[in-house]
Structure 1
């Protein structure tokens, strides 16, 4: 195997094996290797139609997903050059890279609030529709090992990003090296992809390697802890490519749960005891925690930054394998990794087969086929990157032990040299600070005071109230006198500016500190929360105050609320639900939610089990002996358009007008049994679960229990908390269950349809299934709105042609559906 084309040609032979699982937050969508191969060939044809030729640059700016993968391979087999950009990069950076590479076209995402205004751009999420009518390319374009496969722009933690040229030879060499050094990946295992595919660590370890081995890759939409733990519990994950900050985040999630159960003391004692036990015994001892990660979860592979020994010990003590490695974008990227047989805390392991590594003046120098040829259109930087003998200067400081294992001491550019000439490694001080109570996160930098640098700590506190000078004093008490912290600053935002692999952008932090106290307007411009709110609401960030009410003052609609939650989850990697944002929520309240990362408490009224075969049979029996005779006693049912139901090939959304409480049973009895008992109905949540008291509360709860089982209803809120219902509808859709909804949100008192709510458009867009319009007539005569008892009459139910939406925005979907119902 010499090129990525050789790797691509193996995909079709894997047939119906799962290649990708997209966990969208609503749906679970599976793509087989055969489908993936065919779609990539179609992607190559689509690019050809857009004028992309061999050697052209194509920019990808989107979140991890199967569509990102299909786009990437379409670029490669077209013979073009992929230019992945960090999804979390702002528009200015993405535009800069587009201009630097003179990209022929841009693939971007609808999940980014900012988008490039490029005439010939393609939305990644639209590829599922765009590729439907495209004929696949006859085969991949030829490629030579020395051809450029992609350009990766460095993350810019130093403020000077450069375009790294990676050839087919570089990538295949590193792929081969990894699979020789860590031969643990076999077909049938699932990888959880958490780091951005624009980062070479994830791309090589969590993309190329599983595809090389015929394994499956699982993509969650967000990196919030609940989404990660949910994927681990449901997808039988085998391995995760991680960074230390992410492992710390998962560690904190587990520790918080233990605190709530008052088990922290017992857990700490068990981890100390377990350290002396064999791995298999440790796994058995911590079986309750192991189960949260799935039956086959084996290993974290950590890279991107040094792994704190406490975090290493936490996971290792429970029997998990922690493989810390080291590499750079310029080396494709992996250079060293711990082995399956031996893992050493604080070491990144030995050099991989085929990697030459030496230490010169404390700097790590490397050579090998995985090392890049140079920077894109930057001859000076390319010359500076190599010694005269062709060794690549990594810029990292390290030491080799007697066994040839490497320990990273720090980044040469981050090294602090004090006025006394003492070298201070910031990573070591940050590890100490982060263990001090009261510290949420820290960043240690050197501030030039003339005659040497000050060891300066920048702190984000956890809200416990501990004084920062006390924190510094406690940290210094465990440091050598020559390495102590001599100054500190409090960072006022919930997070430090970071790369998408969660490394702190120290250059940015240092530049902000140099500016000193900022004026109000510039402070607002740097506030990521205010900027997110501004993008969603359309209100200028300068006009948003901490006391502003999100709904009343800033005009946040129910749909804006979902969009804001989605962006917050992406930006801050936290658990938040739209139900936490109500009419009285202020900007300051939202900031507090982000800062404290309070655990979300949900009231789950969903009954997925009512859709199993047993309860479908119960409903069928109860309908036969009770519901059907009762309905027919009062209503004569007249049906139209039933032929349209014969065209249904999968789950759909039935959308009907709303006249009476009799509408749901009227539609259900109009459906043939094979569809009826595979259909769930959305019902107004507030009708059952508002702030009722006494007997009324009991009766409404009992009525919900009856309706959820015997009418297969599920709650759909009118005001807030729509996200939970949307996720439940995704589960129903994945299980092949249809959904019945009345989007007017209430009964039409005069028989005229009310406007449809915008939530319908979000629902259709997220679920991605056809809509069947339904027009109901006569139910308001049989059971008028205020009536307590029905009277006899005729009820008509008319089914329309199924509607399939592709590129329409939610508002367009709502209007077109409403017109379709109205015309029946």
Structure 2
């Protein structure tokens, strides 16, 4: 195997084996190897139709998903060059890279508030529809091993970023080198993808390697803790490619759960006891934690930044295997990794087979087939990156031990040299600061003070009110006199600026500190939260104040609210519910939500188990002996358009007008039994769980029990907290359950169709299932709103033709569905 084309030819033979799982946060979609193979060939045709030829550059700027993968492989099959850009990059950076590469086409995401408008562009989310009627490409481009496969642009501290050329030889070499060092992956393995595919660590370890071994990959819609833990619980994950910051995020989630259950002390005691046990014994001791990661979880692979020994020891104490590795984009990227037989805190392991390392003036030099040939259109940078005899200069300071394993001391450009000539490694000081109570995160930089650098700490506090002077003093008490922190600055953004692997952008922090008052406060030059609110609401940044109400002052609508939550989850990787953003929420409140990162404990009322076959049987029996005879005694039912439902396959979204409490049973009895008993109905949550008291409260709770068990109702709020119901609908759709909804939100007392609520468009867009419009008439005569007893009458239920939506906006969907219901006879 010499090229990525050779790897591609192995996909079709894997057939119906799952290759990708997309967890959107609402739905779960799977893709087989055969489907992936065929879609990639279609993608190559689509690129050809858009003027992309061999050697052209195609920029990919979007979140991880199977469609990112299809886009990437289509580019390779077309003989073009992929240019992945980190989804978290801003528009300026993405557009700069587009210009530097003269990209023929840009594939970007609708989930980015600012998008590239110049040149030829397509949306990744539109690929399912764009590829539907496209034929697979007839001829796959041929390529040599030394042909350029992709350009990865570094996050450079100043000026234009540098484009790292990676060839087919580089990538295939690293795939085979890693497999020889850690030969554990089988087709049964399932990887959880948490890092952007624009970063080589994730791309190599969590994309090429699984594809090489026939394994599968799970992609998440948002990298928030709850989504990660849900995927671990439900997807049988074997491997996580991670960075220290994400491992710390997972650690915080577990520690928070232990605190909530008052088990922190017990855990510390067990940890001390567990040190003496072998790893298998620790796995048994900490089974309650182990099971959160699934029965077959094998290993964390950590890279992208140095893993603090304390963090390694935390996961090791639970009995988890942590393989720390080391590499750079320029080395495709892996140079070293620990093995399953031996892991050591503070070491990144031995070099891979075929990789040579040496230390020269404390700097790590590397050589091997995985080392890149140079920077794109930058001869000077290429010359500076290599020694005269062809060794790549990594820019990292390290030591090779007697056993051949490598330890990283830090980046050469981040090394602080004090006025006394002492070398200070920032990572070591940050590890000390981050353990101190009151510190959420720290960044240690060197500030020029004439004749040397000052060791300066930039502190992001956690809101406990601990004085920064005390924090610095406590840190210095545990540091050597030659490595003392001599100054500090407070950082007031919710997060430090981060790279794609969640490393702090120290150059950006340093620039902000140098601009701010000495020993005072600092922040980034532009407020990312204000900019995001301005984009979502259309309000000028200058008019957004800390005390601005999101709804009243900024005009945040229900659709804006869902969009805002999505952007916040992507930008800050935190759990946030739309129920936290209401009419009384101010900008300052939102900032506090981001800073605290506290997960909301949802108290929902969903009952998915009512969709099991036993309860469907119960409903069928109760309908036969009670509901149906009672309904027929009151109603003469006329059904129109039912014949076209016979050919439909679920799940289906039934959308109806609303006249009476009798609407739901009327529609259910109008449906064929195969659809009726595979359907659930959204009901107004506030009707059951509003602020009621006494007998009224009891009756409404009893009606909820009756409705969920015997009519398969589920709650849908009209005020806030919509996202929980949307996720529940996604579970229903994944299980093939049809959904009935009345989007007017209330009974029409005049019989005239009321406006549909905008949430309908969000539901249809997120669920991606056909919509069947339903028109009902006569129920308001049998059981008028406010009436306590029904009268006999005639009811008509009319089913319209199914509607499928693709690239329409939520607003357009609402209008089209409403018009379809209104025009039914």
Unaligned runs of 5+ in 1: none
Q: Is the CA contact 1:159–1:508 (under 8 Å) kept in the aligned structure 2?
A: no
- For the aligned residues, what is the CA RMSD? 1.2
**Structure 1 residue 523 displacement after superposition:** 7.1
The 3-state SS of whatever aligns with 1:37 is: helix
Partner of 1:551: 551
How far the C-alpha of 1:572 sits from its partner, in A, is 1.1
Q: Distance in 1 between matches of 2:106 and 2:578?
A: 32
Moved more, 523-532 or 242-251: 523-532
| Equivalent in the alignment of 1:772 | 772
Query: Could you list the per-position Cα deviations for residues 357-416 of structure 1 after superposition, in whole angstroms to 9, with x for gaps in the alignment?
Result: 000000000011000000000010000000000000000000011011100000000000
1:183 aligns with 2:183: yes
Compute the displacement of 1:594 (Å): 1.1
Q: Does 1:477 align with 2:477?
A: yes
Instruction: Confirm whether residue 166 of structure 1 aligns to residue 190 of structure 2.
Output: no
- Write the distance in 2 (CA, Å) between the matches of 1:729 and 1:281: 41
Report the more deviating stretch, 639-648 or 422-431.
639-648
Aligned mates of 2:125, 2:571 — CA distance in 1: 20
TM alignment of 1:311-390, pairs within 5 A: 311-390=311-390
Q: What is the Cα deviation at residue 203 of structure 1?
A: 0.2
Aligned counterpart, 2:729: 729
* Match in the other structure for 2:498: 498
The separation in 1 between residues aligned to 2:634 and 2:88, in whole angstroms, is: 59
- TM superposition shift of 1:607: 0.7
Contact 1:525–1:531 (CA under 8 A) maintained in structure 2: no
Aligned to 2:58: 58
SS at structure 2 position matched to 1:384: helix
Q: Label 1:302 to 1:159 Cα distance change in 2 as closer, same or farther (>3 A).
A: farther
Q: How far apart are 1:434 and its partner, in Å?
A: 0.3
1: CA distance, partners of 2:660 / 2:204:
58
Matches within 5 A, 1:523-602: 526-602=526-602
C-alpha spacing 1:249/1:159, structure 2 compared with 1 (3 Å): farther
Q: CA deviation at 1:551?
A: 1.0
Once the two structures are TM-superposed, the CA of residue 524 in structure 1 deviates from its matched residue by 8.9
- Counterpart CA distance in 1 for 2:92 and 2:282 is 49
Q: Trace 1:73-112 onto structure 2 (pairs within 5 A).
A: 73-112=73-112
Mapping for residues 338-487 of structure 1, pairs under 5 Å: 338-487=338-487
1:741, distance to aligned residue in structure 2 (A)? 0.5
Distance 1:73 1:485 in 2: 49
Write the deviation string for residues 41-95 of structure 1: whole angstroms up to 9, x where unpaired: 0000000000100000000000000000000000001000000000000000000
1:309 and 2:273 aligned: no
Q: Give the Cα–Cα distance (whole angstroms) in 2 for the partners of residues 183 and 235 of structure 1.
A: 22
Q: 1:524 to 1:356 in 2, by over 3 A?
A: closer
Give, in whole Å, the separation in 2 of the partners of 1:694 and 1:407: 68
Offset of residue 553 of structure 1 = 1.1
Give 5+ residue unaligned stretches, structure 2: none
- Residues 103-139 of structure 1: CA distance to partner in whole angstroms, max 9, x if unpaired? 0000001111111113521111110011000000124
Deviation at 1:418, TM superposition (A): 0.4
> Residues 333 and 370 of structure 1 are in contact (CA less than 8 Å); yes or no, is this contact kept in structure 2?
yes
| Native 8 Å contact 2:512 2:525 kept in 1 | no
CA contact (8 A) 1:524 1:530 kept: no
1:647 is displaced (CA, Å) by 2.8
Instruction: Describe the SS at the equivalent of 2:615.
Output: helix
Deviation at 1:632, TM superposition (A): 1.2
- Residue pair 1:241, 1:301 contacting (<8 A) in 2 also: yes
CA offsets 1:500-540 (integer angstroms, 9 cap, x no match): 2101000111111111259xxx9796111111111111111
Q: Report the Cα distance in structure 2 between the residues aligned to 1:220 and 1:319, rounded to whole angstroms.
A: 26
SS across alignment from 1:212:
helix
> 2:153, 2:163 within 8 Å by CA — same for their partners in 1?
yes
Distance 1:450 1:715 in 2: 66
Shift of 1:548: 0.9
Once residues 197 and 806 of structure 1 are traced to their aligned partners in structure 2, the CA distance between those partners, rounded to angstroms, is 25
2:237 aligned residue: 237
Given that residues 189 and 216 in structure 2 are in contact (C-alpha distance below 8 angstroms), is that contact kept between their aligned partners in structure 1?
yes
CA distance in 1, matches of 2:524, 2:790: 60
Q: Which residue of 2 aligns with 1:816?
A: 816
Farther-moved stretch of structure 1 (114-123 vs 202-211) = 114-123
How many Å apart are 1:545 and its aligned residue? 1.0
Quick check: 1:213 aligned with 2:213?
yes
Q: Is the 8 A contact 1:575 1:599 kept in 2?
A: yes
Partner of residue 603, structure 2: 603
> How far apart are the structure 1 equivalents of 2:377 and 2:351?
30
CA distance in 2 between partners of 1:248 and 1:221 (Å): 20
Q: CA deviation at 1:558?
A: 1.1
- Whether contact under 8 Å (1:158, 1:505) holds in the other structure is no
What does residue 228 of structure 2 align with? 228
Structure 2 residue aligned with 1:13 = 13
The residue matched to 1:665 in structure 2 has which SS? helix
Does the 8 A contact of 1:354 with 1:368 survive in 2? yes
Contact 2:774 2:821 in 1 (8 A): yes
Q: Aligned partners of 1:214, 1:168: CA distance in 2, in Å? A: 19
CA distance in 2, matches of 1:48, 1:599: 46
C-alpha displacement at 1:483, in angstroms?
0.4
Following superposition, the deviation at residue 313 of structure 1 comes to: 0.3
Q: Distance in 2 between matches of 1:288 and 1:421?
A: 50
Instruction: Give 3-state SS (helix, strand or coil) of 1:371's partner.
Output: coil
Question: What's 1:797 paired with?
Answer: 797
Indicate if the aligned counterparts of 2:512 and 2:523 stay in contact, CA closer than 8 A. no
Which moved further from structure 2: 58-67 or 157-166? 157-166
Other structure's SS at 2:776 match:
strand
Greater Cα offset, 269-278 or 321-330: 269-278
* Length, aligned pairs only: 821
Distance in 1, matches of 2:485 and 2:376, equals 40
Q: Distance in 2 between matches of 1:100 and 1:297?
A: 42
The answer as to whether partners of 1:157 and 1:499 remain within 8 angstroms in 2 is no
> Which residue in 2 is equivalent to 1:70?
70
Q: Secondary structure at the match of 2:701?
A: helix
Mapped contact 1:67–1:127 kept (Cα < 8 A): yes
Question: Conserved in 2, the CA contact under 8 Å of 1:43 and 1:131?
Answer: yes
Aligned mates of 1:61, 1:814 — CA distance in 2: 29
The 2-side partners of 1:271 and 1:770 are apart by 52
1:748-763 counterparts in 2 under 5 A?
748-763=748-763
SS at match of 1:47: helix
> Normalized against structure 2, the TM-score is what?
0.99
